[in-house]
Amino acid sequence: MFEVTLAVKLTVQAPFSTQSSSMGAIGIDAPLAKTHDQQPYIPGTLLKGKLRQSWRELSTAAGPLFAPDENHLLGQPTGNDADGQNGPVEPRRGLLYFSDLVLSSAPKSIETTRIQMNPDLGSVKKGSYQVIETPCPSGGRLTFAGSIRYFVQDSRTALQIRDFVEKGLRWITSIGAERTAGFGRLLESTVEHTMREANGPELADQEDLAGFDLLLEFSAPFCVAKRRISDNLFQSDSVIPGSVMKGAIASTWAMLCGRPGAPITEDLDGQRPELCRNFEVVRFTQALPSSANQPCRPVVAPLSVVRSGASTYDVLLRNEPGLIEGHAPRFSVDWKGEDHNHVLRAFGWPDIKTQLRVRTAISEKLRRAEESMLFAYELIEPAGLVWHTRVDLSRVADSERAGVRAQLRSLLAQGIHGLGKTKVSANVRTVNEIKRASNAQRLDSGWFAITMQAPALLCDPRRLQHGSGDKELHQSYTDAWDDLSTGSLKLVRYFARQSLAGGFYLHRRFRRGESYAPWLLTDSGSVFLLHGKDEQAAKLVSQWEQQGLPLPSWAVDHYRRGEMSGDHWSNCPYIPENGYGEIAVDLNVHQQKGC
């Protein structure tokens, strides 16, 4: 197996524009799209679309003499809720990964204009004067550099793909916005390739056979979409679920084996047999961001945290509501911006910068945007940040754990590719220990404060209706903890928030053929005070802290399909192996007087 990197350079003649989705300087109607360090760039998605267009035109002209497998190399669209319910929703990713192409010289930020004339008056038509930002004066040469990466089984295939890319780029005549007005003329394209065997050194060893900690460093802005609040806007979460990482690792692994999109089965990789057999029980916690200079895993603040005056308190251990230093405490639903920022900083969360990218499909015949195909990504800017996650191998049989651990480290040494909406890559390295922003301070014997660090399935949605109140919700949580602890832990009080997860994709992927019903999740930050004095209670809490909360028995039965139980990954996405149900126990904030 070889990893191939194509170093791509495009020389473009000014004027040139790739319009930013962000607001520009006063007086600029069309500002340039720029990176976080203010360098103009050509989006990798734009280059991918232009390459697809070139290949189709060349294939039409040359027939069998030029026939790249477009779907294999660039991917295929998946089904959505507007396709008549017939399209598949499983990911069909392409082999090629495109980076952005960044301007290699310092921009001068020149302004140019476009107008439309009034044919009757011979003057500029009202409202038709546009100021466009370009990197240099007209006639200047701009060089943009980026890369295309892919994995192949042999050097012959690697060179064949390089030739397809090279010919496709040479066929492009212009790139960027305002092409029909003479902008973005492509003067030259060069492609240089490097190839190495994809079996680099293993990650640094760690002594703990039960698992190991990882730091992820991303090569470009990424989007891990939250639940959508709009049909054409994908907002990114700064927290990366374990399911997203596990899916990207599985996709990378299948490509390394020369079988893109193949499921992880026992015969996928003869060099990693133990990992093939046990991959589905390997647990990846959600990846949380921190500063690259001072790595420290942040903590999701419990919903029992309140603000009173300029200080932060926790009310989980208070038996009755009341004033704090003469003030009514403010819970998170009442916080303003500074309250939120203070608590986030106190629990180790860094400042997260985002950028908005607007995309559209282009009509091949009309050479303009397709109708109703405009959508936007909110991207996380990863510069100066790292993401923390833990690999938990405690569910792997003792006899195979060492093999799984070694084989997984050798796989992760290749990096993680194709993550999120923008299919970015991440470098991976191990660390001896990930420090938490908030340490544990154990409560009195028999008492446990459990704060959800990731969403979890706890309450049975069939028992809760629109008219359900505090009594029904409290009973549902009481029954859930009684079930999970087999009666050894009793719920005393809680501060919790719930949300519904569902939609077209999740239903088609995990509940197809059944009547639609969303999952009812208990959100991150929900905190529960439990009491149980016997030894079994302490042992269970310690196990949950290491492995995450299992699904309650009602969920195992209710989500069962065919021969697989409800807690199998193919039936339910919200399982501990995907990072859900992660908890923190007895955070020190519960016993602090204020901070």
Helix (H) / strand (E) element for 148: namely strand 141-152
Is there a contact between 579 and 286 (Cβ–Cβ < 8 Å)? yes
pLDDT digits (tens, 9 = 90+) for 375-397: 788 899 999 999 999 999 999 99
Sign of the CA dihedral running 476, 478, 482, 485: positive
| Dist CA 250 CA 571 (whole Å) | 18
What is the topology classification, in CATH, of domain 447-591? Alpha-Beta Plaits (3.30.70)
CA distances from 502 to 21, 201, 457, 583 (A): 29, 41, 13, 23
| Dist CA 329 CA 563 (whole Å) | 51
Which residue in 415, 393, 410, 411 sits closest to 402, CA to CA? 393
Residue-by-residue DSSP string for 333-398: GG--HHHHHHHHHHTTPPP-EEEEEEE--B-TTTSSBPTT--EEEEEEE-TTEEEEEEEE-TTS-H
Is there a contact between 284 and 291 (Cβ–Cβ < 8 Å)? no
CA distances from 460 to 349, 488, 498, 521, 526 (A): 32, 20, 12, 10, 17
Q: Number of H helices and number of E strands within the chain?
A: 11, 25
Burial of 179 (0-12, 13-18, 19+ CB in 10 A): middle
Q: Helix/strand/coil (H, E, C) string of 535-548?
A: HHHHHHHHHHHHHC
Candidate CATH numbers 3.30.470, 1.10.150, 1.10.287, 3.30.70; the one for domain 211-298+369-431: 3.30.70
Find the largest Cα–Cα distance for the chain: 91
Residue-by-residue DSSP string for 485-546: TTTS-EEEEEE--EEEE--HHHHHHHSTTS----EEEEPTT-EEEEE--SHHHHHHHHHHHH
DSSP 3-state assignment of 313?
strand
Is there a contact between 566 and 559 (Cβ–Cβ < 8 Å)? yes
pLDDT digits (tens, 9 = 90+) for 125-177: 887 887 888 888 888 899 999 999 998 888 899 999 999 999 999 999 999 88
CA distances from 441 to 110, 487, 545 (A): 59, 25, 14
CA atoms lying within 13 Å on the CB side of residue 214: 26
From first to last of the 595 residues of the chain, give the pLDDT tens digit.
788 999 999 999 989 988 887 777 777 888 888 888 888 999 998 999 999 999 999 999 998 899 999 988 998 877 665 555 556 677 778 889 999 999 987 767 677 777 778 787 778 888 788 788 888 888 889 999 999 999 888 889 999 999 999 999 999 999 988 888 888 899 999 999 898 877 655 565 555 568 899 999 998 899 998 877 777 788 899 999 999 999 999 999 998 888 888 889 998 998 999 999 999 999 999 999 999 887 788 999 999 999 988 889 999 999 888 898 888 999 999 998 899 999 999 999 999 999 888 877 777 776 677 777 777 888 999 999 999 999 999 999 999 999 999 999 999 998 899 898 888 999 998 887 677 767 778 888 899 999 999 999 999 999 998 888 899 999 999 999 999 999 999 999 999 999 999 888 888 888 777 888 899 999 999 999 999 988 889 999 999 999 999 999 999 999 998 888 999 998 999 999 999 999 999 999 998 876 6
Is there a contact between 68 and 164 (Cβ–Cβ < 8 Å)? yes
Q: What are phi and psi of 541, to 5 degrees?
A: -60, -40
CA distances from 150 to 195, 221, 259, 463 (A): 10, 19, 13, 49
Helix (H) / strand (E) element for 253: namely helix 242-256
Q: Helix/strand/coil (H, E, C) string of 393-450?
A: CCCCCHHHHHHHHHHHHHHHCCCEEEECCCCEEEEEEEECCCCECCCECCCCCCEEEE
- For residue 16, the 8-state DSSP code is -
CA distances from 338 to 297, 314, 345 (A): 22, 18, 10
Residue type, 463: R
Helix (H) / strand (E) element for 284: namely strand 283-284
Residue with tokens 């985002």: 354
| Dist CA 250 CA 74 (whole Å) | 18
Burial of 172 (0-12, 13-18, 19+ CB in 10 A): middle
CA distances from 314 to 227, 411, 586 (A): 29, 43, 12
Q: Where in the chain is the domain with CATH 3.30.70?
A: 211-298+369-431, 447-591
Residue type, 211: G
Which residue in 587, 269, 246, 567 sits closest to 391, CA to CA? 246
